[in-house]
Amino acid sequence: MDVSVVIVLILVCWTCSISEVEMVKAESDVSDGLTLESVRDSLIRQEDSIVFSLIERARFPLNAPTYDPSYFSMPGSYGSLVELVVKQTEAVQAKAGRYENPKEHPFFPDDLPLSQVPPHKYPRVLNPAAVFVNVNKKIWDVYFNKLLPLFVAPGDDGNYASTAARDLECLQVLSRRIHYGKLVAEVKFRDEWKYYEPAIRARDKKTLMDLLTAPAVERAVKKRVAKKARILGQEVKVGDDIDENKGKYKVDPAVVSKFYGDWVIPLTKDVEVQYLLHRLD
Amino acid sequence: MDVSVVIVLILVCWTCSISEVEMVKAESDVSDGLTLESVRDSLIRQEDSIVFSLIERARFPLNAPTYDPSYFSMPGSYGSLVELVVKQTEAVQAKAGRYENPKEHPFFPDDLPLSQVPPHKYPRVLNPAAVFVNVNKKIWDVYFNKLLPLFVAPGDDGNYASTAARDLECLQVLSRRIHYGKLVAEVKFRDEWKYYEPAIRARDKKTLMDLLTAPAVERAVKKRVAKKARILGQEVKVGDDIDENKGKYKVDPAVVSKFYGDWVIPLTKDVEVQYLLHRLD
């Protein structure tokens, strides 16, 4: 290319005043493959994982000693059995490199052992400040205090270790789904940075929340997770006609839908706003 | 009651020659609530757990480094990443009391830490010799070498820790299902001890296997798990009519059905025979 053409092109770009944000956007689209479609597909797929994990937790009754700090004491540990199982299992997974993936967030990040495996090159999609957004304390609280009592049967069958392992699974899939808000926010920001940028600079959380909110989409999500709870939680029999409305479900579809509406969607949006506030750091 | 009546009753019992086995049976029915129906219901419920666990493993591609002993080395450990994750997670769960439940079987029983929680009184259902029946080495082998390559996509996304955690889940649900053979054998033995007892005393494995085999039931199980893979592995959409034959499934129903026929059912029967051979110890 002729040098003069290059100079003209540079001047054209300059006069177009392509913002830094837009250049980052263009670069990212090429490099990391993040699209609204891929994010949406992942969120839809994660609904299945959440429903599966709740169904599997519901195999066990409440098993209250799992959550009772006075139930046992182990040298060097404190808290309840579920805390011990979650903390120590997270430590195993941390050594195996789980939390090197920016989509994974530990519930007990303090004193987590370092990864012992060679580093993997995960695509750099998010602003590095994303690492400071972690709402797992809130997820822990709503899972144990709001959700759990609504979908497990009362009772005690002694399987506290398995119960705690199932709780960990529920917590991890909920955490992954809710922190996916960072990717949702990133992709929305890239698509409509002109609207987001002024609100971020003004630290205007209300406008950000309004920009991020799509009531029709939220209604569709709530409807879909209820349907998933019906279909994935039915008793499948050989020879029967399929009738998703018949029979009992392993987890109450209304509970799953309400939990999504009351907690999963709002917490995801909290993550989105928190992430966006740091998007221009 | 008159003493003479008691003596007559004792003599009647004596002449009836109620075997020790039958008395044990009668006692057990009262004390442990084991019934053919409860065992069957549990096996059917466990099919869902198996299908869920395979679907969740299939979220990740093969991720070969998870299984490659040369991929990493950690002080004090050897083997592959999946071995490390399974072994160390089992250790956490052992401390939390998981393996106190006779229905749970560790894959790495050597050097497993002791339970740190107060003992739970699980119903005594099985002959104590049951503890020596453990086919997890075989389950490990067929899961990784026969099943895994058939239901996960090729590829590598770096999520080896999560992949190993999903493998552990698959292994644990398969192990629970297959070792449930001990309960299947116990309940069948109690119902038809007259047929089983001579074969056990003669150590006649072939007759035991014939007694335990019900081809129609096996066909129904294979059909049902394929149906479960179709229903639980479909993509659920809001507003769509349900058509389980349409679309793609997250795990190939034919693979699940064939794996049940080729491995899950035969290994369960192996456990049943091994258990029965010790039933009169």
Comparing A236 with A77, the larger pLDDT belongs to A236
A97 vs B: CB within 8 A: yes
Name the average pLDDT for chain A: 88
Tokens 């009351």, residue?
A: A262
Dist CA B164 CA B82 (whole Å): 5
CA count, 13 A, side-chain hemisphere, B216: 0
Name the average pLDDT for chain B: 88
Residues of B in contact with A74 (CB under 8 A): 95, 116
Report CA-CA distances (Å) from A194 to A18, A203, A273: 12, 15, 16
Report CA-CA distances (Å) from A24 to A30, A245, A280, B256: 10, 49, 11, 46
Residue in chain A closest to B223 (alpha carbons) equals A238
- Say whether pLDDT at B20 is over 50: no
- Say whether pLDDT at B15 is over 50: no
Q: Which amino acid is at A94?
A: A
Report pLDDT for A31.
53
Comparing A26 with B117, the larger pLDDT belongs to B117
- Say whether pLDDT at B78 is over 80: no
Comparing A15 with A51, the larger pLDDT belongs to A51
> Can you read off the two tokens belonging to residue A136?
């797992």
Interface confidence (ipTM) of the complex = 0.87
Residues 6+ apart with CB under 8 A from A110: none
Q: How far is CA A16 from the centre of its chain?
A: 38
Residues of B in contact with A162 (CB under 8 A): 93, 98, 101, 104
Dist CA B2 CA B23 (whole Å): 24
B72 vs A: CB within 8 A: yes
B248 vs A: CB within 8 A: no
Dist CA B64 CA A40 (whole Å): 28
- Mark yes or no for CB contact A160/B117 under 8 Å: yes
Tokens 């971020």, residue?
A: A200
- Say whether pLDDT at B6 is over 50: no
> Can you read off the two tokens belonging to residue B111?
């050097």
pTM: 0.88
Mean pLDDT check: name the lowest of A3-17, B70-84, B131-145: A3-17
SS3 A189: helix
> Can you read off the two tokens belonging to residue B35?
């019934």
Dist CA A238 CA A253 (whole Å): 23
- Say whether pLDDT at B33 is over 60: yes
Report pLDDT for B9.
38
Mean pLDDT check: name the lowest of A17-26, A171-180, B137-146, B174-183: A17-26
Interior/surface letters A23-61, b for 16+ CB within 10 angstroms, e for the rest: eebeebeeeeebeeeebeebbbebbbbbbbbbbbbbbbe
Report pLDDT for B248.
86
Residue A239's pLDDT band, with cuts at 50, 70 and 90, is confident
Q: How many contacts does A have with B, using Cβ atoms within 8 A?
A: 133
Percent share of chain A, pLDDT over 90: 79
Mean pLDDT check: name the lowest of A113-122, A174-183, B53-62, B234-243: B234-243
B64 vs A: CB within 8 A: no
